Structure 1
Amino acid sequence: MFELVRHAIITLIDWIFRRRSPALQVMRIGLSCLAIALGVTWALDISIPLGGGEITFNVNAGEGTPGLVVSGVALLGGLLILVGLIWEIVRYNAEQQQLSRKKVIVIEARGLRDGVGLALADAVPTNVEGRRDAVIVDLRQGVVDGHIVSPQAAVDKLVSLPVDLERRELGTDRSDLLRVYGGLAPVPFTFLTGVLIDDETSTIVFDWDRHLQRWRLLDAPDDQKRFVVDGMDKIVAGADEVALLVSVSYQVDAIGVGKKLDGIAQISLSLDGALPDSHWSEDKQRALGQQFLETTIQISNMGIRRIHLFLAAQNSVVFRFGCLYDKRNLPELIVYQYQREENPPYPWGVLMPVGGRPRPEVV
C-alpha cells in the first residue's frame, strides 16, 4: 500500500513539473511556498564563534512575527495551488473539447500486393492531435502481384474518393482538419489520387520503408540533388504532344517510350543520383515538385496540348506531383503504367481529369 501511494505521489509530481502550462506554473510556485513554510517551522539556532565569545541568532517560526510570516507564506502557497488546480482543470477541459473537434483523415492506398502490413493509421505519431478516421482505398481486386488486370475497375474506385472525403470532413472546420496519406499502388493510380485529393488541405505524407518494413515520415536531410532537365529544345513549334520522362527511383525506359510514341519529342527530368531510397527528405521532394511544376508550365507556354508522362518514382513523390499538377491551366495529361515484359513496356495509361476533362479514362 505504501509503495502504491509513493508511486502515485511521484507520478503526480512528475506530471506537475514536466508539463508546461501557466496553470501548472502557478501550482509549482504554490508548492515552493509550502515547502519553504514547512522548512522553517522548526526553531533555527545559529552560533558564530568569535575571539571574545560568540554571536547567537535564534529564530522560532512558531511565535511572533516570524510565525505570522510563515503562516502567510503557507496560506499563499495553498491558495496558489488551489487556483492553479482549478485553472488547470478548466484548461484541460477546454483542450479536450478542442481535440474532440480535430480530425485526422488517414488515407491509405493499397494496390500492389495482398501482403498484410502495418496499417497507416497505426503509424501516425501520437503528437498528431485529433480523432483518426481511416480511409482504405483498396485497389487490389484489379491487381495481381503488381500487374493490373482491370485498370478501369481501379479507376472507378478512385473516382469516388473525393465524395467520400467530403462526406467525412463535412462540418469540420478547415483549421481542425488534417490529412495523412500513404500508399503502395501503381504509378497512374497514385498520381490520380494526388490529382483528386489536390493540395488545398494540409497533408502529411508517409512512404513505405521496404528495409524497415514500416511506414516512415519524410524525415531525412536534404542532399541538395535535383533534376537535370534535358530536351526542352527538341520541342518543335506547333507540336501538340510531348513525352515527359521523370526519373527519380529508376531511369525511365526511353527506348520503350520511343516505341510507344514514335516521333514525339522527349523531355527528361533525371535526378542526380536516382535510387529507390533517394526520396526521404521533405525539403528535397518540395524542390523536385517545384521543378516538375515549372517544367510542365514551360511546356504549356509552348502551346503543347497533351503531355505523356512516364514516371519512375516512389509513391510519395508520385502522389506529390499529382497534387501539384494544375487541373485548370495545364495541358491534358496521360500517366503511363510500366510493365517490363510488355512490348512496348507501357501498355496503358490513365488520362487524368485535368485540362477541362471531368473524369479520368483508361487509354
Structure 2
Amino acid sequence: MSLFHSVVTKAADYFFRKRSPALIVFRGGISLLTMTLLGNFAFNARYENTHQAFSINIPSSDLPISLLTVGFYCGVALVVIGLIWEIHRDVAERRKLSRQVVISLEERGLVNTSDSPLSTFIQLQYKGKRVDPIVIDIRDSLANGAVNYPVPALQKFLAIENSIEERRNQIGADDVEIIYGGLVPVPFAFLTGYLIDDESKVEVTDWDRQISNWRHLDGNDDGESFLIKHLYQNRQSRESVVAISFSYPVDTTGISKSFPNLPQIHLKLDNIRFDNHWSKRKQDRLAYEFVEIVKSLIADGVEQIHLVLACQNSVAFRFGQAYDRRNLPPITVYQYERSKVNRYPWGVYIPQSQQELIQVIDNKYYIIEAG
C-alpha cells in the first residue's frame, strides 16, 4: 500500500506541480474533461420520517449534449497531446543531460581532501549529468606544508589545458562545464585560473574548513574594497611588487628583504579574515580592482609584476582568471615560506609572449645579508 501511495504521490507531483508548456496543455485537458463530465451530472436524494422530510436535488446542466460531447473529446485530445508532448520533452531533456559533462577539476596539496572528493560533491548536485573528474595531486612535492619540489609540481598544472581541450573536442564545447576546487599553494592556484581564463564556463568552489567539505561561493557581497598604499616608490624602475592582503596580512618585512629596492604597492582589505571570500560577486569585483591597479602601473612604465598574494585558494584562482594574457605584463606569483630566511624564495613566472615558457624561477632579488 505504501508503494502504491508513493507512486500516486510522485505522479501527482509530476503532472500537477511541475511546470512546462506540455503539462499546461495536459492540465487544461483534465479541467475541460472535469467540466464536461460535471455538466451532465444530476443528483437527487430524499429523506423523510413521521416528523419531517428533507430532500436534495441537483439538476443536470442545461447545456446541449452535443456541446458537452465536443468539450469531452476536446479535453481527451488535450490530455493526449499534452501527455505525448511531455514525454517527448522529457526524453529530449534526459538525452541532453546525458550529453552534458561536468568536469570536476580538483587540486590537492595543502590539505588532504581525498575523503571528500570534489567529484562526489558535484554528483550530488548535478543528477543526470556525467561528472568527469580531473585530479591534480602534488602532495608528493610538499613536506610539512613547504613546497620542496616546485618544478615537477608545475608540470602537472601545465597539463590542465590539454586535458580540458581533449574533453571539449570529444564532447563539444557547449556541453562541457568546469567546476573547480583546490587547496594548493597560491602560485599554482593563480596559474590554474590563468590557464583556464574567464572565457570558459567555470564555476568555482572552495574548501570550507569549518565543515570539512566543499562549498559554492554563495555568500553576500559586503561591499569591501582594497585600501591602497604605495611604498618605496621608484619611478625609474620597470618592475613593481604588488602585495595583496586578503585572508592574512602579507609579510611586509619579508617583502622588503626579498625584493630590496623594488617599488611596492599594497592592496589590503580592512577586514582580513579567513572566511571573507564566500561571495562570488565580491571576488569578481576585487579581481577587477587588482587588474585596474596593474593597468595603472603599466601607465607608469612598469613592465614586470611581482605578485605577493595572501588569500584563499578560490581568490587566487579568480585573480588568475582575470589576468589578461594579451594586454597585461609578465607576472611572477611568489610562494611564501615562513620558515625560510628568504620568505619568498621562488615563484611561477607567467610570460606575456607565447614564445616564452611558464616556469618556476628562484627569487634573484634577495640579497644574502652578511653574518
> Could you state the TM-score of these two structures normalised by the residue count of structure 1?
0.89
Question: Cα–Cα, structure 1 residues 346 and 58, in superposed 2: closer, same or farther, change >3 Å?
Answer: closer
Give distance in 2, aligned partners of 1:224 and 1:27: 47
Please give the alpha-carbon distance, in whole angstroms, between the structure 2 residues aligned to 1:69 and 1:101. 48
Q: 1:361 to 1:59 in 2, by over 3 A?
A: same
The letter for the 2-side match of 1:218 is L
Note the C-alpha offset of 1:40: 4.8
Q: Would you say the 8 A contact 2:43–2:59 is kept in 1? A: yes
- Structure 1 counterpart of 2:190, one-letter code: F
- State yes or no: 1:79 paired with 2:77: yes
Provide the residue aligned with 2:145 in structure 1: 146
348-357 vs 318-327, which moves further? 348-357
Q: Aligned letter for 1:149?
A: N
Unaligned runs of 5+ in 1: 48-55
* Cross-structure match for 2:97: 99
- Which secondary structure does the structure 1 equivalent of 2:338 belong to? coil
Residue in 2 aligned with 1:191? 190
Number of the residue aligned with 2:50: none
Secondary structure of the residue that 1:158 maps to in structure 2? helix
- Supply the distance in 1 between the matched residues of 2:197 and 2:63 (Cα, whole angstroms): 72
Q: Distance in 1 between matches of 2:142 and 2:129?
A: 33
User: Residue in 1 aligned with 2:289?
Assistant: 291
Structure 1 letter corresponding to 2:7: A
- How far apart are the structure 1 equivalents of 2:74 and 2:109? 64
Cα pair 2:307 2:331 within 8 Å, conserved = yes
Decide whether aligned partners of structure 1 residues 153 and 297 sit closer, same or farther in structure 2, where only a CA change above 3 A counts.
same
Shift of 1:76: 2.3
* Structure 1 runs, 4 residues or longer, greater than 6 Å off: none
Instruction: For 1:15, give the aligned amino acid.
Output: Y
Q: Please list every run of 5 or more consecutive structure 2 residues that lacks an aligned counterpart in the other structure.
A: 47-55, 362-371
Change (3 A) 1:16 1:264: same
Give deviations 1:77-129, integer Å, cap 9, x for gaps: 22211111111111112222322332222211111144533111222263587
In the alignment, the residues of structure 2 paired with residue 141 and residue 354 of structure 1 have an alpha-carbon distance, to the nearest angstrom, of: 30
Match of 2:12 in 1: 13
Return closer, same or farther for 1:3/1:350 CA change in 2, 3 Å cut-off: closer
Decide whether aligned partners of structure 1 residues 206 and 30 sit closer, same or farther in structure 2, where only a CA change above 3 A counts: same
CA 1:9 to 1:128, structure 2 compared with 1: closer, same or farther past 3 Å? closer
Residue 368 (structure 2) aligns with: none
Query: In the alignment, which of 275, 280, 283 is matched to residue 282 of structure 1?
Result: 280
1:135 corresponding residue in structure 2: 134
What is aligned with 2:216? 217
> Once the 2 structures are TM-superposed, how far is the Cα of residue 247 of structure 1 from its aligned partner?
0.7
Q: Secondary structure at the match of 2:125?
A: coil
Any idea what the Cα deviations from partners look like across 1:190-222, whole Å, max 9, x if unmatched?
A: 111111111211211101110111111111111
Residues 170-209 of structure 1 correspond to what in structure 2 (within 5 A)?
Answer: 170-209=169-208
Residue 262 of structure 1 and its aligned partner are, at CA, apart by 1.1
Partners of 1:59 and 1:66 within 8 A in 2 = no
Describe the superposition over 1:166-211 as per-residue Cα deviations: whole angstroms up to 9, x where unpaired.
1111144433322111100001111111111112112111011101
Compute the displacement of 1:345 (Å). Answer: 1.4
| Residue 366 of structure 2: aligned partner | none
**1:46 CA displacement:** 11
Q: State the secondary structure of the residue aligned to 2:298.
A: helix
* Amino acid in structure 2 at the alignment position of 1:202: K
Tell me: CA distance 1:127–1:35, structure 2 relative to 1, closer, same or farther (3 Å). Answer: farther
> Among 334, 339, 348, which residue is 2:332 paired with?
334
CA positional deviation for 1:300:
1.7
**Alignment match, 1:119:** 117
TM-score of the superposition, structure 2-length normalised? 0.87
What CA distance in whole angstroms lies between the structure 1 residues aligned with 2:63 and 2:282?
69
Shifted more, 15-24 versus 91-100: the winner is 91-100
The alpha carbon displacement at 1:5 in A equals 3.3
Tell me the residue number matched to 2:369: none
Amino acid at match of 1:205: V
Provide the rounded CA distance (Å) in 2 between the counterparts of 1:230 and 1:11: 61
**2:248 is paired with a residue of what secondary structure?**
coil
Q: For residues 43 and 187 of structure 1, what CA distance do their matches in structure 2 show?
A: 78
Q: Cα 1:127–1:134, aligned 2, differ >3 Å: closer, same or farther? A: closer
* CA–CA distance in structure 2, aligned partners of residues 46 and 274 of structure 1: 79
The residue type equivalent to 2:246 in the other structure is: V
Aligned position for 1:236: 234
User: Is the Cα–Cα contact under 8 Å of residues 234 and 262 in structure 2 kept in the other structure?
Assistant: no
Partner deviation per Cα, 1:4-43 (whole Å, 9 max, x = no partner): 3343223211111111111111111122223334445542
Equivalenced residue count is: 351
Q: How far did 1:353 drift?
A: 3.8
Contact 1:225 1:271 in 2 (8 A): yes
In structure 2, what is the Cα distance between the partners aligned to 1:355 and 1:146?
32
Aligned to 2:27: 28
Partner residue of 2:365? none
